[in-house]
Structures are given as structure tokens and as C-alpha cells.
A and B are shown apart, each in its own frame.
Chain A
Amino acid sequence: MSFPGAIGRAEFAALYDEHVGVVRSVLLRLCPGGRLDDLTQEVFLRAWRGQSSFRRQSSAKTWLCRIARNLAIDELRAVRPEPLPVDHDAAAPGIDPGERALVLELLGRMEPDDRLLLVLLCVEQCSIAEIAEVLEVPAGTVKSRAFTLRQKLKQELTRKEAVHG
């Protein structure tokens, strides 16, 4: 039996098509080496079963990303975290492989929420408000955290580059 305001199957399938990419991005960046397809399915199952937690004033994208983030954190607690994979085939032609490995190493050492913040901001082009909803923190915290993380990343990159020449 469905409850009033519930999302129908067709509407849910459209949600899947629209947001499966960003959900997989969150899962892959937080749980590299995890069972990406299984985790993706679990996110959408949790979303389907827990529709009552979807506040219509927030977007479906941030709702699904929040579910993905919570699931990924549960998964990280259960299994040993793996380093971010270096897929040489997926590398952009203009990027130095050493620099790329360094970026992945630095991202891999970050706290999951910090990594997610940078991924959502820089890779998925989410707004500060959207990231605040996903991480369940005020927008001001996201802004200051993003600034600090970017500064830290730049400093580390400059320092390592200077060391390695």
C-alpha cells in the first residue's frame, strides 16, 4: 500500500536515470574498490523504502547523495578502506601521471566528508547549498571547509613538487 505523496514507480525510474551518475560518483570516490553496482542498487532501494525521509523542499539529487554518503560511510566502517584507484586508461592526456598519483594520494588521506566535499564541489559542480544539504552542515561551514581544503591541497602539491623536482 502506498502513502499519500509517495513517488510512483515511473517517477522513481526517472529519478534513477537522472541521478544514477552522481550517486555512483559519490560511492566510487568514498568507497574505491567497493561493489559499485551493489552499492548503487542499495542506495536506490533505501531511497524507495525510505521515501518518507524525502523532504520535498530539498532536491532529489541531494537526498540521494545523502543516502549514498551514509551507505558509503557504513561500508567504510565494515571494510578496510582502499586507496583511490589509479586508472591509467582514464587519465586525461594533458595530465602528468606523477601529479595525478599525488592528487589521488592526498585525496585518499582525507576524511571521507572532506573528500566528498571536494568531489561534489569540483567534480560534480554542486552548489554550496546542495553540499550543505548532503553533508548536513551549515552552508558557511561548507564554504570555510572548502577554502581550507583547497589551500591545504595546493600547499601539499607545491611542497611535494618542490621535493620531487
Chain B
Amino acid sequence: MDEDLDRLLRESLGPVPQASPGLRRRVLAAIDSRPRRWPQRAILALAACVLLALGFWQLRPKHPPAARRLTWVDEGDDEADETALFDLAAFSAEG
């Protein structure tokens, strides 16, 4: 019963006009001149990476850590002490 109806529909609608070779050439020429879109997911992932990088850049420490600064000061003091000792020795030799 369904087969009869399907056949009736098929025969009533008739065949579809075939696509011409000219249309094929037109379609292929048109796709040659148009770029494909990048996948939306890839664009979103890229944007998320950029935002994360910007976030980390904003949150980076503005000053060197305290421990490193102390070490630097100590080193500086050592140098100053050494200079002072040298000067004292020179003074003693002269005197």
C-alpha cells in the first residue's frame, strides 16, 4: 500500500532537471575565489588562550621577590665592607 503511494508520488513529481556541466564549472570557479571559514571552535580556543596570557601578564609580580632583594642588599653590603677594609689597610700602611 505504501509502495503504491510512494510510486504515485515519484511519478507525479517527475524527474529533476540534471545539472549542466556549466553549473559544475561555475561552482568550482566560485569556490576557488572564496576562502573557507576557520572553525568557530578553533577561533574561540585561540581567543581564550590570548585572554589567559593577558590575564597572567596583568597578574605578574610588579617587584622582585623580597628574598632576592635582601640577598642583593647583603651582597652590596659585603662589597662595601670589603672596600672599607681595603681603605683601612691602605690608611694603616700609609700611617
Q: How large is the interface on B (under 10, 10 to 19, 20 to 34, 35 or more residues)?
A: 20 to 34
Q: With A21-B16, A29-B13 in contact, is A45–B31 under 8 Å at CB?
A: yes
Partner of A84, one of B6, B13, B28: B13
The distance in angstroms between the C-alpha atoms of A82 and B6, with both chains bound, is 23
Q: With A95-B8, A122-B9 in contact, is A50–B26 under 8 Å at CB?
A: no
Question: Which residue of B is nearest A90, CB measured?
Answer: B14
> Nearest chain B CB to A144's CB is how many angstroms away?
15
B60 within 8 A of A: no
Instruction: Say yes or no: B17 contacts A36, CB within 8 Å.
Output: yes
B55 within 8 A of A: no
Q: With A48-B34, A49-B36 in contact, is A103–B27 under 8 Å at CB?
A: no
B32 within 8 A of A: yes
Q: How large is the interface on A (under 10, 10 to 19, 20 to 34, 35 or more residues)?
A: 35 or more
Q: With A50-B37, A52-B39, A52-B40 in contact, is A44–B6 under 8 Å at CB?
A: no
A20 within 8 A of B: yes
> Nearest chain A CB to B93's CB is how many angstroms away?
76
> Nearest chain B CB to A159's CB is how many angstroms away?
15
In A69-109, which residues have CB < 8 Å from any B CB?
A: 84, 87, 90-92, 94-95, 99-100, 103-104, 107
Instruction: Say yes or no: A2 contacts B36, CB within 8 Å.
Output: yes
B5 within 8 A of A: yes
B10 within 8 A of A: yes
**Complex interface: chain A residues within 8 A of B50 (CB):** none
Q: How many CB-defined contacts (below 8 Å) exist between A and B? A: 106
Q: With A16-B27, A51-B37, A154-B5 in contact, is A92–B32 under 8 Å at CB?
A: no
Partner of B12, one of A1, A2, A17, A103: A103
The contact sample of 8 A-B pairs, CB cut-off 8 A, is A2-B36, A17-B24, A29-B13, A99-B12, A100-B12, A104-B13, A107-B13, A150-B2
Given contacts A41-B23, A52-B40, 17 further A-B contacts (CB under 8 A): A3-B42, A6-B36, A9-B28, A9-B31, A13-B24, A16-B24, A21-B16, A24-B19, A28-B16, A37-B20, A49-B36, A52-B39, A99-B12, A103-B9, A119-B9, A153-B5, A154-B1
- Which residues of B approach A to under 8 Å, CB–CB? 1-2, 5-6, 8-20, 23-24, 26-28, 30-32, 34-42
